[in-house]
Amino acid sequence: MKTLIQPVLAQPGPVADNGTGWPLLRLGFRPFYLGAAVFACLAVPMWVLLFLGHTDPVPVLPPLLWHAHEMLFGFAAAVIVGFLMTAGKAWTGLPTPRGGAMAALALLWLAARISAWVAPYPVYAALDLLLLPVVATVLVRLLLRADNRRNLPLAGLLGALALANLVFHLSVLAYLPLPPVQALVAALALIVLIETVMAGRVIPAFTMGATPGLRIRLDPTREKATALASVAALAWWVFAPAHAAGAALLALAAVLQVSRLIAWKPWCTRSRPILWILHLSYAWIPVGFALLAMNQLGWIGASAGIHALAVGATGGLIIGMVTRTARGHTGRPLLASPLEVAAYALVMFAALLRVLVPLVAPQFLVVSVVVAAGAWALAFAMYLALYTPWLLRARLDGKDG
C-alpha cells in the first residue's frame, strides 16, 4: 500500500517520456478533470447571472433546472468518469480508452454542455444521454475481463445515474408524468452513493499510506449497515412523501456515516491538507442526511440538506480528489501547496454559505449566493492555474499515464 500512496518526487533535469500519444489523452483524469474545472469556473457564475436575471441568451432548460442538471451531469459526472476511467486501469491492469477514443468521450461531454445553449432541446438531450452508458459499458467489460467483481457496484450506480438522466429528459419533454426535479434528486442521491463507495475505497487507504504506523480497521458489519441505511434513506427521500419514518431513516444513516468517518481517524490528517479535505468533505454527507431528516419533519426547507450534499460533500470531495489523484498520476509529491489549500478553504466556505445562510439569515440569500459562487469559481480557477500545465504534459517520472 505504501508504494501506491507515497509521493513520487520529481527528479532534476529532463525526464524521458515513455508514454505514447498526446499526454492529455492518455488517461481519463486528464481531459475530464480539466474540462470539469473549466466548467465549474463558468457554469456557477452563469447560474448567478441567470438567477439575477442579467443574461441573454438563456439555455434550452429553465435556469434552475439547467443549473441543477449541469452541476450533476456536467460537472460531477465528468469527474466521476475521469476517476473511473483512470482507476479502472489500476483495478484491472487492462488499458482504458485513450487517444482517439478518449478524445471522442471528452468531445461528447463538451458537445452536450455547449448544445444546452445553442441547439434544440432534443439534440441537447440526445448528446447528453450518450456518455454515461458508454462509460458504464466500458467499465463493466473491463471489470468482467479482469474478474474484478468487487467494483461492479460502481458500474451499476453509473448505469442508474444514466437512467436518472433519461428520466429527467423524458420528463422535461413531457413523455413521463413526473416532475423533472425528482429525477435530479435521484441523481444527487446516486452521486452521494457513488461517493460513499469510492470514499470507502480510497480515504482509509490514503490516510494509512501517509501516516506511518497507522492502522484503520474497516468493520464489515458497520460498512454493510451504513450502506443499507444510506440506500434506504436516500430511496425514501427520492420516492416517498415527507414522513417521520423518512426522518428516522435519514437520521440513522447520518449516525452510521459519522461512525464510519470516525473509524477512519480523521484527526490524524490535521497536518496534511490533501487528506483532511477528503475527511472534512465526507463529513458533509451525515450533515446533509441530518438536515434532510429535519426537512422530512417540516422543520426546515430542503435547500440546506441538498447543498450540504451537493456543494459540501460533492464539491469538497471533487476538489480533494482532483488534486490528490492528479498529483499521484502525474508523478508529483502528494503534498498540497498553499494555492490548493486556499482552493479547499474556498469550496468549504461556499458550502457553509449555501447551507447556513438560508437557515439563519434568509434575508441575505442573494448576497450569499453571489459570494458563494465567487468562492467556488475562484477555487477551481486556482486549480486550473496550477494543474493545467501538468495535465497537458507527460508524467515527471517518465511513466505512461
Residue 19's CB is within 10 A of a number of other CB atoms, namely: 16
Cα gap 92→85, rounded to integer Å = 11
Question: Which of the four pLDDT bands, split at 50, 70 and 90, describes residue 1?
Answer: very low
- Find where cell 427521500 sits: 237
Rg (CA), the chain: 20
- Give the three-class secondary structure for 399: coil
pLDDT at 17: 53
H-helix segments, 212-362: 220-239, 244-263, 273-296, 303-307, 316-329, 338-360
| pLDDT surpasses 70 at 5 | no
Cα gap 386→141, rounded to integer Å = 35
Write the pLDDT tens digit of every residue in 295-353.
Answer: 999 999 999 999 999 999 999 999 999 999 999 999 999 999 999 999 999 999 999 99
pLDDT at 19: 64
Q: Average the pLDDT over 202-231 and give the result.
A: 93
Question: Which of the four pLDDT bands, split at 50, 70 and 90, describes residue 7?
Answer: very low
Q: What values do phi and psi take at 174, rounded to 5?
A: 70, 20
Closest CA to 113 of 60, 176, 174: 60
pLDDT at 20: 73
- Burial bucket for residue 267 (CB in 10 Å: 0-12, 13-18, 19+): exposed
- Burial bucket for residue 241 (CB in 10 Å: 0-12, 13-18, 19+): exposed
pLDDT > 70 in the chain, percent? 95
Cα gap 80→36, rounded to integer Å = 10
- Burial bucket for residue 71 (CB in 10 Å: 0-12, 13-18, 19+): buried
Q: How many residues does the chain have?
A: 401
Planar angle of CA 231, 232, 236, nearest 5 degrees: 115
pTM: 0.93
The DSSP letter of residue 74 is I
Residue 78's CB is within 10 A of a number of other CB atoms, namely: 27
Distance of CA 149 to the CA centre of its chain: 23
Tell me the domains of the chain and their CATH numbers: 24-392 (1.20.210.10)
| pLDDT surpasses 60 at 3 | no
pLDDT at 2: 34
Sign of CA dihedral 23, 25, 27, 29: positive
Write the pLDDT tens digit of every residue in 112-159.
Answer: 999 999 999 999 999 999 999 999 999 999 999 999 998 999 999 999
